[in-house]
Amino acid sequence: MMDTNTIRAVGKSRLAVTPLGFGGGTIGSPAIGNEASFATVAAAWETGVRFYEERRIGVVIAAPYASGWLADPSGSATYMYAPAPPEVVARSERMHAICEDHGVPLAAAALQFPLAHPAVATVIPGAKSPEEPVASRRNLDTEVPDDVWRRFKAEGLLEENAPTP
């Protein structure tokens, strides 16, 4: 099972992060109120998240927890969304089916896969409700059977030499 709690170094720097971070772009939406945003960040904190990618989240953390937080030095991020091409949708559907065959959520494989690469220190899913960081922690801690990774590779969904958990 993947170690989802040990702090990881970021490259050769002195910076170290938790394997599961928190992406704050979604709670910055005008559709998400302050109360929901604060509850979402608090839920992430309760699951053990200590890496937050948006500077404004520090306001939420600093008050009740008085603990350090990490942010993009510029304090800003740009997000771009585009529809996925049909071949990407087909790959995703196939991966989802393989995960379903093994009784694991695709989200568990999606969060764990990048962490298997030695250059990756953290994954940073966004969340817009208190349930989402809890689900991310659960997915990160869900055991993904080796056969899932083997099938992904056998069906050409992952490169044969891709590191897997």
**With contact defined as beta carbons under 8 Å apart, do 53 and 77 qualify?**
yes
Provide the whole-model pTM: 0.72
pLDDT at 66: 39
Mean pLDDT by 10 residues, the chain (165 residues): 80 86 81 86 88 64 44 41 69 92 95 92 88 93 96 94 94
pLDDT at 128: 86
Contacts 24+ apart (CB under 8 A), 29-32: 29/128, 32/128
